[in-house]
Amino acid sequence: GIQVEQSPPDLILQEGANSTLRCNFSDSVNNLQWFHQNPWGQLINLFYIPSGTKQNGRLSATTVATERYSLLYISSSQTTDSGVYFCAVASGTYKYIFGTGTRLKVLA
């Protein structure tokens, strides 16, 4: 099956800093989502982005499907950005496979 690797595994930032999170996947996919899991466990949708670039406020994401990676950019980080960021991919129409996540802590 598809392997999903995320880097870095852990990241500590000062408030206001920028960061880039990476997701590599081992096979072609036609669905890709980024999620933020908050400290209460809720998985919050950030982007549905099987290809191309999207932006939503301080967050943006780029997927280069032909090279099998996706990037999540966080600018001007805030303490509320803390949590775990997951990339999930699906090569078929429904079965998403998750990476192990990037644990982000933003310090005030």
Partner 1 sequence: DTGVSQNPRHKITKRGQNVTFRCDPISEHNRLYWYRQTLGQGPEFLTYFQNEAQLEKSRLLSDRFSAERPKGSFSTLEIQRTEQGDSAMYLCASSLEGGAQGTGSGNTIYFGEGSWLTVV
Task: Provide the binding-site residues for partner 1, judged by CB under 8 A.
Answer: 4, 30-31, 33, 35, 40-43, 45, 48, 50, 86, 88, 90, 93-101
The distance of closest approach from Cβ of residue 105 to partner 1 in the complex, given in angstroms and rounded to an integer, is 15
The distance of closest approach from Cβ of residue 28 to partner 1 in the complex, given in angstroms and rounded to an integer, is 15
Considering the complex, state which of residue 9 and residue 16 has its C-beta at the smaller distance from partner 1: 9
Considering the complex, state which of residue 15 and residue 27 has its C-beta at the smaller distance from partner 1: 27
Q: Could you please report the per-residue DSSP string of 76-101? A: S--GGG-EEEEEEEESSSS--EE---
Considering the complex, state which of residue 20 and residue 38 has its C-beta at the smaller distance from partner 1: 38
The distance of closest approach from Cβ of residue 19 to partner 1 in the complex, given in angstroms and rounded to an integer, is 19
Across 1-108, the runs of DSSP E, i.e. the strands, are: 4-7, 10-14, 19-25, 31-37, 43-48, 52-56, 59-64, 69-74, 83-90, 97-98, 102-107
Q: Which amino acid is at 35?
A: F
> Cα 46 from chain centroid?
8
